Amino acid sequence: MAQVERLPQSCPLGRCDGSGWLIDEDETARPCDCRERRIAQARMRGVRATLPEKYAGVSFDRPPISDMARRPQSRAVVEAVRGFVDDVDANLAEGRGLWFIGDVGTGKTSLAMLVSKLAMEAGRSAAVYSLPKLLTRIRRTYDMNAGDLSYSEFFRRLTSVDLLHIDDLGATNQTDWVMEQLFSIVDERYATKKSMVVTTDLEVGALEDQIGARTVSRLVEICGDPLALFGDDQRYRVA
For the chain, domain boundaries: 1-39, 43-236
Count of CB atoms situated within 10 Å of the CB of 24:
8
CA–CA separation, 105 and 222 (whole Å): 25
Give, to the nearest 10 degrees, the angle between helix 204-211 and helix 213-223: 120
Strand partners, 163: 126, 195
Report whether pLDDT(235) > 70: no
Position 142 scores a pLDDT of: 84
Lowest mean pLDDT among 138-142, 161-165, 235-239: 235-239
Position 37 scores a pLDDT of: 66
Cα angle 169-172-178, degrees, rounded to a multiple of 5:
85
Position 234 scores a pLDDT of: 53
Report whether pLDDT(238) > 50: no
CA–CA separation, 196 and 11 (whole Å): 26
Whole-prediction pTM value? 0.80
- Mind listing the pLDDT tens digit for each residue in 200-223? 999 999 999 999 999 999 999 999
Q: Which residues contact 156 (CB under 8 A, 6 or more apart)?
A: none
Report whether pLDDT(227) > 60: yes
- Mind listing the pLDDT tens digit for each residue in 120-162? 999 899 999 999 999 999 998 887 665 577 899 899 999 999 9
- How far, CA to CA in Å, does 179 sit from each of 33, 160, 208, 213? 39, 20, 10, 10
Contact 100, 77 (CB under 8 A): yes
CA–CA separation, 80 and 226 (whole Å): 11
Please state which CATH number belongs to domain 43-236: 3.40.50.300
Q: Percent of the chain beyond pLDDT 90? A: 64
- Mind listing the pLDDT tens digit for each residue in 11-63? 767 778 777 777 777 777 788 877 766 665 555 566 767 899 999 999 999 99
Q: What is the three-class DSSP state of 125?
A: coil
Position 89 scores a pLDDT of: 95
Q: What is the mean pLDDT of residues 114-122?
A: 95
